[in-house]
C-alpha cells in the first residue's frame, strides 16, 4: 500500500510547487510595489504652513544659551490653532470644488488613476486633520471644538470678501485718474470748438450766436469723445 | 499624512515682551503668515469671552450694526438735503465701521451692510458727477451682493455710460440682467446703451 512511486510523482509536485511559489512571489512583490507607490505619491497640497507653525509652537526648543524653552502664552497657541483651522477650511473648499471636476475627467478618461489616488489620499488626510484640530481645540478650551470650525468658516469668507473689495478699490483709483484725464481732454476740445465757432460766427450773426454755439457744442462734445475714446482704447 | 505624526520644525522665536512671533528664515510666505498670526493674536486679546476664544458666529453683538445703521441713516438724510459730499463722508464712515468688524462674525451680515452702503455711496457720487468713484462703488456693492441688488447694477451701468465706456456698460448690464432676470430698468438701460452704440457707429462710419 505504501508502495508509492515517488519518482513519478516528483514532476507533478515540482510543477505545483513552482506554480504556487511563483504566484505567491508575484502577488507579494506586486502588493509591495503598489504600497510603496501609494506611499510615494506626490501630495496634493503643499506643506501645511499653519500646522507646522502650530506644532512648532507647542514643541518650542530652548535657544542656545537658555536653559529651558521659552514659554509660549496660550493666547498665541490659540491664535495659531485658529489660523490652522482657517487653512483647513480653505483646503476643504478646494477639495469640494475639485471633486466634481475630477470625477468628470476620470469618467472621460482624460486623466490617469494616479491623480485620483492622490486626490483620495488628500481627502483622507484632511478628514484626519480636521479631527486632530477639533481635539486640540477641545484641549485648549472646553467646548471650543464645535465652534472653532464655524468661526474659521466665517473668517475664511470674510478674508476673501475683504480681498475682493480691496482689489476693486485699487482699480477704482486707477479708473479715477483715467477719467479725470479724459474729462480734461474733453473740456479742452470743447473750449477749442467754442473758440473756433465764436471766432467764425462773431463777424456775421448777432444774438442768435449764443444759441447757435450752444446747440452745436452739444454734438461736437459727443463726437470728439467718440474717436478719442477709440484712440485711447480700453484698459 | 499617515504622517499626522510628523511635522516640519520651523525656526520661530517669540519676543517675551510683545509676545510677537518672528522668524530667522527668509521665506516670504512664512513671514506673511506670521504677520497675519500676530495681528490675529492681538485681535483675540481684546476678546472678553472665557478663554479668549472667538465666540460662535451667531448670535452677534448688535452694537456695531446699530452704529452702522445710524451712519447710513445720517448719510441718507444728508443726501436728501442735497449735501452730497457730506453724504459720501457718512457712508464712508459707515463702510469703515462695517469693514473693521472682527473676522469671525458672520459674513452674510457684513455683506448685507456693505452692499447697501456702497450702493448709497454710489448714488451720492453720481449726484456729484464723480462717475469713476460711482462706478467703483457700484461694482463693490455688487461684489458683496450679486442677486437682489438691482440698484447697484443700474448705478454702475449709468456711471460707465456717462464716462463713455459703452462696451463695458453693455457687458455689465447684460451680466446684471442674468442675475436679476428682466428687471425693467436694466432692460431699458440696455436698450439705451445699444442705441448709443449704434449712433456712435453711424457717427464714426
Task: Find where cell 456695531 sits.
Answer: B64
**Contact between B44 and A82 using a beta-carbon 8 Å cutoff:** yes
Q: What is the pLDDT of residues A39-74, one digit of tens each?
A: 777 888 888 888 888 888 888 766 655 666 677 788
Q: Give the model confidence (pLDDT) of B3-54 as tens digits.
A: 567 778 888 777 777 778 888 778 888 888 888 888 888 888 877 777 777 8
ipTM above 0.90, yes or no: no
Spatial separation of the C-alpha atoms in residues B172 and A182, rounded to whole Å: 21
Chain B closest-CA separation from residue A112 CA (Å): 22
Yes or no: say if A108 and A174 are a contact pair by the CB < 8 Å rule. no
Residue whose C-alpha cell is 458666529: B57
Number of CB atoms found within 10 A of residue A73's CB? 14
Q: Distance (Å, rounded) from C-alpha A142 to C-alpha A145?
A: 8
Closest partner residue to B143 (CB to CB) among A79, A150, A165 is A165
Angle at A119 between CA A133 and CA A106, to 5 degrees: 150
Q: What is the mean pLDDT of residues A215-230?
A: 42
DSSP state of B129: T
Residues of B in contact with A230 (CB under 8 A): 204
Tell me if A162 and B99 make a contact (CB, 8 A cut-off): yes
Are A181 and A225 within 8 A, CB to CB? Answer: no
pLDDT given at position B161: 86
Question: What is the grid cell recorded at A15?
Answer: 510543477
Contact B56 A52 (CB under 8 A): no
Q: Do A150 and B57 touch (CB under 8 A)?
A: yes
Beta carbons of A144 and B51 less than 8 angstroms apart: yes
Three-state DSSP at B164 gives coil
Q: Over pLDDT 70: what percentage of chain B?
A: 97
**Number of other residues whose CB lies within 10 A of the CB of residue B77:** 13
For the stretch B157-178, pLDDT in tens is 888 888 888 888 888 888 888 8
Task: Using the structure block, give the residue that is written with the C-alpha cell 502664552.
Answer: A73
Q: Which residues of B70-166 form beta strands (DSSP E)?
A: none
All residues of chain B having their beta carbon less than 8 Å from the beta carbon of residue A132 are 4
Separation of alpha carbons B1 and A127, rounded Å = 10
Out of A50-64, A148-162, A220-234, pick the least confident: A220-234
The pLDDT value given to residue A226: 41
Mean pLDDT throughout A140-144? 85
Amino acid at each position: 500500500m505504501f508502495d508509492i512511486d515517488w519518482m513519478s510523482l516528483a514532476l507533478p509536485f515540482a510543477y505545483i510547487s513552482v506554480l504556487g511559489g511563483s504566484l505567491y512571489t508575484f502577488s507579494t512583490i506586486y502588493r509591495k510595489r503598489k504600497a510603496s507607490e501609494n506611499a510615494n505619491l506626490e501630495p496634493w497640497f503643499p506643506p501645511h504652513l499653519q500646522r507646522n507653525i502650530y506644532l512648532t509652537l507647542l514643541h518650542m526648543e530652548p535657544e542656545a544659551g537658555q536653559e529651558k524653552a521659552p514659554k509660549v502664552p496660550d493666547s498665541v497657541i490659540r491664535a495659531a490653532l485658529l489660523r490652522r483651522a482657517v487653512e483647513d477650511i480653505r483646503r476643504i473648499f478646494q477639495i469640494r470644488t475639485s471633486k466634481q471636476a475630477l470625477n468628470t475627467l476620470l469618467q472621460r478618461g482624460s486623466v490617469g488613476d494616479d491623480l485620483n489616488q492622490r486626490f483620495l489620499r488628500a481627502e483622507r488626510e484632511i478628514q484626519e486633520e480636521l479631527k486632530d484640530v477639533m481635539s486640540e481645540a477641545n484641549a485648549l478650551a472646553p467646548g471650543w471644538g464645535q465652534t472653532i470650525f464655524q468661526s474659521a468658516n466665517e473668517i475664511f469668507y470674510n478674508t476673501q470678501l475683504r480681498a475682493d473689495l480691496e482689489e476693486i478699490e485699487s482699480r477704482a483709483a486707477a479708473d479715477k485718474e483715467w477719467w479725470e484725464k479724459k474729462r480734461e481732454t474733453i473740456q479742452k476740445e470743447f473750449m477749442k470748438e467754442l473758440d473756433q465757432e465764436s471766432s467764425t460766427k462773431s463777424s456775421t450773426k448777432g444774438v442768435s450766436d449764443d444759441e447757435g454755439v450752444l446747440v452745436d457744442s452739444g454734438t461736437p462734445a459727443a463726437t470728439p469723445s467718440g474717436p478719442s475714446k477709440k484712440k485711447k482704447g480700453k484698459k | 499624512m499617515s504622517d499626522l505624526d510628523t511635522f516640519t520644525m520651523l525656526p520661530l522665536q517669540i519676543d517675551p515682551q510683545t509676545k510677537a512671533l518672528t522668524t530667522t528664515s527668509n521665506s516670504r510666505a512664512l513671514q506673511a503668515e506670521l504677520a497675519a498670526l500676530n495681528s490675529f493674536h492681538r485681535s483675540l486679546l481684546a476678546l472678553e469671552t472665557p478663554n479668549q476664544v472667538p465666540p460662535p458666529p451667531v448670535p452677534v453683538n448688535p452694537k456695531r450694526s446699530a452704529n452702522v445703521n445710524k451712519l447710513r441713516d445720517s448719510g441718507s438724510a444728508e443726501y436728501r438735503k442735497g449735501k452730497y459730499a457730506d453724504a459720501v463722508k457718512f457712508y464712508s464712515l459707515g463702510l469703515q465701521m462695517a469693514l473693521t468688524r472682527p473676522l469671525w462674525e458672520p459674513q452674510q451680515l457684513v455683506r448685507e451692510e456693505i452692499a447697501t452702503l456702497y450702493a448709497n455711496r454710489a448714488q451720492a457720487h453720481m449726484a456729484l458727477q464723480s462717475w469713476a468713484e460711482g462706478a467703483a462703488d457700484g461694482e463693490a456693492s455688487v461684489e458683496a451682493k450679486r442677486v437682489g441688488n438691482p440698484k447697484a447694477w443700474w448705478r454702475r451701468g449709468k456711471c460707465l455710460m456717462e464716462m463713455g465706456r459703452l462696451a463695458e456698460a453693455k457687458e455689465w448690464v447684460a451680466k446684471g440682467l442674468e442675475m436679476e432676470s428682466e428687471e425693467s430698468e436694466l432692460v431699458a438701460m440696455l436698450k439705451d446703451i445699444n442705441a448709443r452704440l449704434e449712433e456712435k457707429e453711424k457717427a464714426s462710419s
